[in-house]
């Protein structure tokens, strides 16, 4: 079963720029995928499509068996609770500690505080940042900030 599937997806912006031209791809559960390519190749557009920040011009996009081309806008926040994205600029909240940045992803879905504390500690261990839990993003290296962003993206995922 595919966790992400695109069938003949096109994205043409209003200025007639074709960012995605008939893309068909699928990723299976458990796959770890890098999206690489030169500037202007459509990488960011692809991510925005599977996060439903953008809508496809044509084609079908499925994320966890949900057709993103047919869901209502009010359903998008529920989708985003199940999709973790690590942004190029990390989008860390500079006034929050590492722990608080990661916990924020669970707070917005109203997870129980005890579960939040437990999960954040587990994920901090996973990304090897347990000793930096009380640091602010500005006190971290770029690589450490990236690991915080990764931790925030995966904190909602079940641990196996």
pLDDT band at 159 (very low <50, low <70, confident <90, very high): very low
Q: What is the pLDDT of residues 102-138, one digit of tens each?
A: 999 999 888 999 999 999 999 999 999 999 999 999 9
What's the pLDDT tens digit per position in 43-87?
889 989 998 999 999 999 999 899 999 999 999 988 887 777 776
**SS3 (DSSP) at 35:** coil
- Sign of the Cα pseudo-torsion (78, 18, 32, 155, in order): negative
pLDDT at 142: 86
Label residues 37-48 b or e (16+ Cβ within 10 Å = b).
eeeeebbbbbbb
Phi-psi map region of 157: left, alpha, beta (phi>0 left; psi -120 to 50 alpha): beta
């Amino acid at each position: 079963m595919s966790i992400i599937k695109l069938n003949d997806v096109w994205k043409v912006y209003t200025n007639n720029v074709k960012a995605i031209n008939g893309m068909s791809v699928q990723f299976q559960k458990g796959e770890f995928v890098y999206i690489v390519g030169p500037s202007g190749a459509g990488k960011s557009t692809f991510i925005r499509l599977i996060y439903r920040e953008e809508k496809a011009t044509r084609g079908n996009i499925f994320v966890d068996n949900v057709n993103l081309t047919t869901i209502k806008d009010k359903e998008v926040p529920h989708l985003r609770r199940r999709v973790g994205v690590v942004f190029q600029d990390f989008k860390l909240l500079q006034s929050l500690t590492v722990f608080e940045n990661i916990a924020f992803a669970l707070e917005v879905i109203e997870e129980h505080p005890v579960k939040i504390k437990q999960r954040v500690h587990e994920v901090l261990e996973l990304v090897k940042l347990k000793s930096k839990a009380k640091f602010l993003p500005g006190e971290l290296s770029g690589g450490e900030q990236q690991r915080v962003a990764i931790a925030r993206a995966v904190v909602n995922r079940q641990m196996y």
